[in-house]
Chain A
Amino acid sequence: MSTAVVEKVDDDLWSAIGDPTRRRMLDLLLIEGDGTATTLSQQMPVTRQAVAKHLGVLDRVGLVRATPAGREKRYRVDDAQLARAVAQLSSVGSAWDARLRRIKRIAEAIQHTQQD
């Protein structure tokens, strides 16, 4: 039951971070601490409207948090949610760690057999 919900959140998070423009926006927000659709669009080859739309996607999955700033919203990266996304890629890395350990074991067993 809860597994289905968890997978849904998972997919949305990955889709959100899967877009290069949105990752660039996250990078800019991390470097500068915060930003609005206007300040971000000044540093990217996309319109303010497009940036606002991307920020909406990031906001829905919790990767950024918005506070009102005049007529705009000011966004910051949600560290905890970003850490979760990064952790998921590290777990792909740990799958490779396990595979490489098995490669090592198999190759060394063959080497050992040939030396005997």
Chain B
Amino acid sequence: MEFGTIEREIYVEASPEIVFEVVSSPDHLKQWWPDDARYDPTPGSVGEIVFGDRAAGGAVVPFTVIDARPPRTFSFRWTHPAGEVAAEGNSLLVTFELTPSGGGTLLKMTETGFREMSWEVAVLEQQYQEHVTGWDFYLPRLAPYVATLKVRP
């Protein structure tokens, strides 16, 4: 059983240079994940990503760039407590690896740190589901939970 790592691979019909830009630049990140993103895509840069409206109780989450080697590797840590230096044990590490393949790019993503941190973080991850799929995601989960509650003393 390996609970601690998520690995995904997807083929993109675009050059590694373009894919690198999309996974690393804050302007693009906002298009595929948080509602706002502020950081320099350079190693060591500390910034933040925001889910929801910053002024209306949105979640502001620390974001630290670990590695940026265009067009091959981009990695960052997130979910570390504000003010703490991101390191193993206090944050999740997301790594994108890009490999040229047949005129496009094979994009591999790994997210690690669940085992070292706490599984509460996995729940945290779920809270940052994008708005579009948020309800699709939560509604089917409620029924099984309610069913379980019934058999619990």
A-side residues, CB < 8 A to B, are 2-3, 5-6, 9-11, 14-15, 17-18, 20, 23, 26-27, 30, 62, 80-81, 84-86, 88-89, 91-104, 106-108, 110-111, 114
A-B contact pairs, 6 of them (CB 8 A): A6-B146, A18-B118, A88-B126, A91-B126, A102-B32, A104-B10
Inter-chain contact B18/A17, CB cutoff 8 Å: no
Chain A residues with CB below 8 A from B141, complex form: 91
B84 at the interface (CB under 8 A from A): no
Given contacts A80-B148, A107-B18, A107-B105, 13 further A-B contacts (CB under 8 A): A10-B145, A14-B118, A14-B119, A14-B120, A23-B1, A84-B148, A85-B119, A86-B1, A92-B122, A99-B33, A100-B10, A102-B33, A107-B22
Chain A residues with CB below 8 A from B128, complex form: 95
Chain B residues with CB below 8 A from A18, complex form: 117-120
Give the number of residue pairs across the A-B interface with Cβ within 8 Å.
126
Inter-chain contact A95/B8, CB cutoff 8 Å: no
Chain B residue, CB-CB nearest to A16 = B119
Inter-chain contact A30/B1, CB cutoff 8 Å: yes
Dominant secondary structure of chain A at its interface with chain B = helix
Inter-chain contact B8/A93, CB cutoff 8 Å: yes
Question: Contacts A15-B118, A93-B8: A108 and B13 contacting too (C-beta < 8 A)?
Answer: yes
Task: State in angstroms the CA–CA spacing of A114 and B14 once bound together.
Answer: 10
Interface pick from B41-49, B62-70, B107-115: B107-115
